Structure 1
């Protein structure tokens, strides 16, 4: 088949030459004619209509508009943003005029080439004897290759899945239950633990002797825990608003994000049992690629952002109304972070890139193609510098205005699940599937010189992938900073971040530990996992103070966030059983 289009550089030069002459740039036209030897061109004496270059570029923009809006979804059908030559297009609409509803055929369209490598990875890991999460519970780069393997086929971007629901919807009924949960601060006897023990599953990593000796909460009523019902699927993420302390956001497997108003106890210690129905955020994805991976608030509490498997970046305001969306990434988004000032926004994706967005201008500032395989996590050092980690076992320290990394941190032997800066932003903690954590010095990064750094404090002791690492928010004067890790080996550990010494290890979970959080005052640490248990430990005493169990089946707790402010002291839980748990710790005598 003959290509119907034929464009030569000589034609382009003659077109620009005519534009220079039409615009009065006589000297520029003369230089171009001389440099390009246009008088020898067969096109030199052809008639070029005045304004032809602008006319052709206008037609190119019209084609770009058709190319960008071919999906015909709610966002593109009502897009009000103009197309420009030198700026990437971002679909947006006027919130005063909600977009029309999508036809049913478009709402549920899923790209036929979408890849789901989760099962293959789980089977391979099981044969290798590596402790694994249940199904797809390891919500990161599922199916990403190891350092020594060639990249596998990545999950393709889905088309026609974005449904932009601008009107805020409230479920008609939201029940608040006070569960008959199992709570206690005292370990049960081995006989009791054995009687209550569920049948062993393949991913349990303890021996039978360890299980019988583990602390098992006794069964009793507990009014410290509220379970909020509105989600229709497993809840993966949750986060308290940093400014408006009664506001909690939660996101589920079906991409629905709810915003709850949860009053705390009044000055007399009375807690209101009724919680009003939540708001539902706009920009809900549809289809099987709708798992939410991350959720974060801006520091001023005005915006909330979510990362999703459908590769679409979404930001809403604190009332759930649409603020910004973009499809820049070519793979699932695993991390979303606002910069300290809130001016910038960072997203990290399976496509190996990290994008920096201008929050106020609602546009892309720069895309960094950093990692060879997958960018799994990111954190801000300052408003000018940030770090990323990937499945290529590398960590990069980056500057907003430099396309190349300022520093490359080498040492991990497998994909790096998390990176976290300490409160003073002088050191970095990372954790990996190589079963270690590491502490790096990131002070005095030279913005003019790229350095490879392999010096780190290695935290060794876990026997499974290390999924989470967190810094203690408070360090007493004269003491070393503490860092905590949790692993799929069912344990969590507290470390001296300067010496690398393991100060204590907690092994009360019977399955993978999915969540880890220090209390804001630095006195306690909470862990939660696939066994449905929430454990709270006293850091100084190195002892468990209190536990709660969600019960079975579908009892996993995927994420927790601890809030302390005034008379509020509570933990939010994202739970597999489609509920959001809120633990009022002021009602737990063992923690007072």
Structure 2
């Protein structure tokens, strides 16, 4: 029987382009296409189109074109061609006899997000307004930063298990940083007041091959894993209250923040829990996605970031404490200072705002040259922000200008995290590297209120696609060095010695991009969650995978995790799921995880 023909029509193409423009932030151009293409009447408009689907299809088309070009009877060129394929350039093979055939094409190409320019712009749209709505990073492909990561098609073919020392298949050159050669990506970082750059030669790390991704057959999990239903769309963020241990918050694409009253011991009744409070954050229905949740240290206030550019702060009793529309673009990150006095917000409008929480007013506005993607606090007065302009600003609550500008990344900086002491800052980027910045504050005798920051940098190299997540371990290595973990769109997670930059382990159990990575508060565990629906738990001491859970829902991606541990013996993880649910895993009730650990 002949296979059914492949069909495609203009309406489908228009809907793909419309989804791409919406994901990339080009609202005016998308609106024009919606009306001129009469997409209101399209049967495809309401269908869920995964984030970055248009680019994904273009990359697959290029891979097919590459196979076709190298399979026309000239087998000598199949593996020896050293010329890459691009979207708009005619391919001309280049044969280098000295290079042995090493290229192996995968059925599923590396995940790619939207490019930073639209396919076409409305003639009536000013160029500067287009620039302000440039696409975000892979973490924030509408932002994971994340905050709306690409929803991979669950039915797509899984990528083969990756060898970290093997070359990646060639793909479209959609970003300058990612199309550079390996040699150029290893060039020395730019100097910041002559820092001591540490880039040691990295030994080949040990790769842990993927074991069967199932829990032991004889393990009775009972009610150790439940899923809370209440949201009507993808759940992007979640956060446990730091003092009221029964309260869990979750934020969704449906524009609602839910507060859940979670009992200390999960049971069959917990499965039927409904949120006891639901806060509506939908000032506009078009851009209602919630991107960030953060509790202050006292557990009394919850900050909410949203794509509608509105900052909201709620009390623990779900009352609106403060609201502001001073940002002119989607808010990607909200972070309270460590003492709870200040709140910092990062936005697509290229600015970071500092808010006085008690006075309910903006204290300062800092401007970047690119969209602001993430931020984190070093102490009660210093914080850092990163952006698509490839730099990191160290900012003070007492100064309008940056205390330091950290340069060195060659791609958009997706996420930054400070260690617990605030003496180091870790950043990850589209340039496939992680940088650890050691900072020492210096008081100026003549100006007591002014600080300078002396910076030194360690570069972690090894990932083969965009690095989108980082985490500091609360425990140190046996040699006294700090331990860090990183996650990438190359589907691997890695453990590193933060002082030497040496990669200690590579975990290859995921088959799709990893969206979330975090150490447990006591440092006993490392957890990862990805677009393939798998939650993997690792022992960072033994450096091996010890347990896994799989979301069997067709929409199975895991976007974010929030870990809760306290003295009552509670040890559980909340998961933000694409399936419109919030997952809860009680680790104390999983037999495979019951082992002794020395407190940090």
- Per the normalisation by structure 1, the TM-score is 0.66
- Residue 278 of structure 1: CA displacement? 2.8
Q: Distance in 2 between matches of 1:111 and 1:514?
A: 24
Alignment of 1:51-130 (within 5 A): 113=28
- Cα shift at 1:245: 0.8
Q: Which residue of 1 aligns with 2:396?
A: 399
Is the CA contact (8 Å cut-off) linking 2:441 and 2:451 kept in structure 1?
A: no
Local SS of the residue matching 2:475: coil
User: How far apart are 1:497 and its partner, in Å?
Assistant: 0.5
Residues 444 and 357 of structure 1, relative CA distance in 2, 3 Å threshold:
same
Report deviation, 1:235: 0.4
2:476 aligned with 1:475:
yes
1:218-262 CA-partner distances (Å, limit 9, x unpaired): 586732111000000010000000001111000111221100010
98, 106, 131: which is aligned to 1:153?
131
Q: Quick one: which of 565, 581, 584 aligns to 2:583? A: 581
Q: Residues 407 and 445 of structure 1 are in contact (CA less than 8 Å); yes or no, is this contact kept in structure 2?
A: no
Instruction: Tell me the residue number matched to 1:353.
Output: 351
218 and 287 in structure 1: CA distance in 2 versus 1, 3 angstrom threshold = same
**Post-superposition shift, 1:277?**
3.5
Deviations 1:39-91 (A, max 9, x none): xxxxxxxxxxxxxxxxxxxxxxxxxxxxxxxxxxxxxxxxxxxxxxxxxxxxx
Aligned mates of 2:29, 2:279 — CA distance in 1: 26
> Which residue is equivalent to 2:5?
none
Check the 8 A contact 1:570/1:586 in 2, yes or no. yes
What secondary structure does 1:319 align onto? coil
The counterpart of 2:380, out of the listed 378, 383, 386, is 383
Alignment-derived partner of residue 59 in structure 1: none
Structure 1 pair 454/301, CA: closer, same or farther in 2 (3 Å)? closer
Q: Give the CA deviation at 1:432.
A: 0.5
SS state at 1:216 partner: coil
In structure 2, what is the Cα distance between the partners aligned to 1:355 and 1:490? Answer: 34
**1:502: which partner in 2?**
503
- Corresponding residue to 1:324 among 322, 325, 344: 322
In structure 2, C-alpha distance between the alignment counterparts of 1:277 and 1:199, rounded to whole Å: 31
Instruction: Give the equivalent residue in structure 2 for 1:413.
Output: 410
Q: Which residue of 1 aligns with 2:13?
A: none
Q: 2:592 is paired with a residue of what secondary structure?
A: helix
Supply the distance in 2 between the matched residues of 1:393 and 1:219 (Cα, whole angstroms): 45
CA distance in 2, matches of 1:398, 1:216: 44
SS of residue paired to 1:284: coil
Aligned to 1:13: none
1:222 — aligned with what? 221
SS in 2 for 1:386: strand
How far apart are residue 309 of structure 1 and its match?
A: 1.0
> Which runs of no fewer than 5 residues in structure 2 stay unpaired?
1-24, 32-50, 63-85, 88-108, 119-126, 135-153, 167-206, 595-600
Q: Secondary structure of 1:590's partner?
A: helix
1:344, 1:215 → 2: CA distance? 46
Q: Retained in 2: the 8 A contact 1:115–1:153?
A: no
User: Using the alignment, how far apart are the partners of 2:209 and 2:422 within structure 1?
Assistant: 42
In 2, Cα distance between equivalents of 1:131 and 1:363: 44
Alpha-carbon distance in structure 2 between the residues aligned to 1:297 and 1:445: 30
Do the aligned residues in 2 keep the contact of 1:337 with 1:379 (CA within 8 Å)? yes
Once the two structures are superposed, what CA deviation does each residue of 1:142-195 show, in whole Å capped at 9, x if it has no partner?
8489xxx99953349xxxxxxxxxxxxxxxxxxxxxxxxxxxxxxxxxxxxxxx
Query: Retained in 2: the 8 A contact 1:480–1:496?
Result: yes
> Residues of 1 paired with 2:458 and 2:160: CA distance?
27
User: What SS does structure 2 have at the residue aligned with 1:365?
Assistant: strand
Q: Which has the larger radius of gyration?
A: 1
Matched-pair contact (CA < 8 Å) for 1:409–1:452: no
Alignment size in residue pairs: 430
Task: Give me the whole-angstrom Cα distance separating, in 2, the residues matched to 1:125 and 1:438.
Answer: 29
Q: CA deviation at 1:265?
A: 2.1
Distance change >3 Å, CA 310–CA 509, structure 1 → 2: same
Moved more, 425-434 or 478-487: 478-487
The residue number in structure 2 matching 1:513 is: 514
* 293, 296, 308: which one aligns with 2:294: 296
Distance 1:408 1:205 in 2: 40
What SS does structure 2 have at the residue aligned with 1:586?
A: helix
Q: Answer yes or no: is the 8 Å Cα contact 2:468–2:488 preserved in 1.
A: yes
Give the distance between the partners of 2:304 and 2:311, measured in 1 at CA.
7
Change (3 A) 1:276 1:578: closer
Structure 1 residue 271 displacement after superposition = 8.4
What is the match of residue 422 of structure 1? 419
* CA distance in structure 2 between the aligned counterparts of 1:582 and 1:218, rounded to whole angstroms: 16
- Out of 310, 313, 316, the position equivalent to 2:311 is 313
Maintained 8 Å contact 1:410/1:453: no
C-alpha deviation, 1:273, in angstroms: 5.2
Q: Is the Cα–Cα contact under 8 Å of residues 416 and 430 in structure 1 kept in the other structure?
A: yes
SS in structure 1 opposite 2:511? coil
Work out which of the residue numbers 569, 572, 587 in structure 2 matches 1:570: 572
Deviation string, structure 1 residues 427-464 (Cα, Å, up to 9, x no partner):
11000011111100112255767979784111111111
- Match in the other structure for 2:342: 344
Shift of 1:523: 1.2
